[in-house]
């Protein structure tokens, strides 16, 4: 056998060992995946998230998007410069607000997705104010 052939026969097993070692080091372990899904399966709650929402003219809200994770407990502290009914679609939650008097809406973010937040001034007038974005776990 030539020296080049011997060198190749030695390098191939070494490269295979290195590749297998890298695969084992870089792949997610099954125990990590199980522990990450355990809080969801046991119903453990996420974190508390509080947001201050300011509605102006029943047509603009700041901030206009609220982002949370599924399982978080959400507190919306809402202030409006005029009386209206605040409505969160997807969760079917409503809060009557008086002008310049803060109101609070609390709930658990159980449904993932994008949900509209609206101002209802009367039975016919509905203004979209922004969105609640619930990221799936």
Bond prior to 117 in cis (omega within 30° of 0): no
Task: Scan for tokens 């922004």, then name that residue.
Answer: 130
CB 72 within 8 A of CB 132: no
Task: Scan for tokens 């029943």, then name that residue.
Answer: 58
Q: Is the pLDDT of residue 36 over 70?
A: no
What does residue 18 show for φ and ψ, rounded to 5 degrees? -65, -45
Q: Is the pLDDT of residue 8 over 90?
A: no
Task: Scan for tokens 């009386």, then name that residue.
Answer: 83
Q: Is the pLDDT of residue 40 over 90?
A: no
> Which class does domain 45-135 fall in?
mainly beta
Q: Is the pLDDT of residue 35 over 80?
A: no
- pTM for this one? 0.65
User: How is the chain split into domains, by residue range?
Assistant: 3-41, 45-135
CB 86 within 8 A of CB 105: yes
Burial 88-108 (b: 16+ CB within 10 A, else e): beebeeeeebeeeeeeebeee
137: nearest Cα among 44, 49, 50, 40: 40
What is the average per-residue pLDDT within 24-37?
A: 51
pLDDT (tens digit, 9 = 90+) per residue, 46-101? 899 999 999 999 899 999 999 999 999 999 999 999 999 999 999 999 999 999 99
Q: How many CA atoms lie within 13 A of 49 on its CB side?
A: 20
């Amino acid at each position: 056998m030539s020296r080049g052939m011997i060198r190749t026969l030695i390098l191939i097993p070494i490269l295979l060992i290195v590749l297998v070692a890298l695969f084992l080091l870089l792949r997610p372990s099954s125990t990590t995946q199980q522990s990450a899904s355990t809080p969801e399966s046991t119903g453990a709650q996420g974190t508390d998230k509080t947001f201050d929402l300011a509605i102006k003219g029943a047509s603009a809200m700041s901030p206009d998007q609220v982002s949370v994770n599924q399982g978080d407990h959400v507190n919306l502290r809402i202030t409006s410069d005029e009386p209206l009914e605040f409505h969160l679609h997807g969760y079917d939650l409503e809060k009557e607000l008086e002008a310049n008097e803060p109101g609070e809406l609390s709930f658990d973010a159980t449904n993932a997705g994008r949900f509209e937040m609206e101002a209802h001034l009367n039975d016919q007038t509905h203004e979209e104010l922004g969105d609640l974005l619930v990221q799936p776990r």
